Structure 1
Amino acid sequence: MDISAASVILAHNNLSQAVGISVMKMAKDQFTDQSQQMIQMLERSVQPNLGGNLDIRV
């Protein structure tokens, strides 16, 4: 194998690795955003006084 072919293969591998890392970072960021939105939604849905009293008339 000559040096130019090895150089092309190495550059291709480096590019593939960089693209893979970039995609994983985007997925991680999206997951982080979604989990923060879920936490905010759950915090807004909490009603601590709901079900604390029971009114009964006979």
Structure 2
Amino acid sequence: MDIAALSIMMNHSQVKQQANISVMKMAMNTAEQNNVNLTKMLEQSVQPHIGSKIDVKL
């Protein structure tokens, strides 16, 4: 195998690796944002006065 072909193959593998890392970073950012949004939604839905007392009749 000649040097030029080896250089091209190495460059292509580096480009593929960089693309994979970029996609993974985007997925991680999306997951992080989804977690933040879910946490905010859960915090807003908490109603401390509901369920704190139980009426019992004997």
TM-score (norm: length of structure 2):
0.88
Q: Displacement, 1:34?
A: 0.3
Point out where structure 2 has 5 or more consecutive residues left out of the alignment.
none
* Distance in 1 of aligned mates of 2:8 and 2:40: 48
Q: What does the per-residue CA deviation read over 1:1-56, in whole Å, with 9 as the maximum and x for residues that have no partner?
A: 00000000000000000000000000000000000000000000001111223568
1:42 maps to which residue?
42
* Distance in 1 of aligned mates of 2:42 and 2:25: 26
CA RMSD across the alignment: 1.4
Matched length: 56
Counterparts of 1:3-18 in structure 2 under 5 Å?
A: 3-18=3-18
* Distance in 2 of aligned mates of 1:2 and 1:32: 45
2:24 maps to which residue?
24
TM-score (norm: length of structure 1):
0.88
Point out where structure 1 has 5 or more consecutive residues left out of the alignment.
none
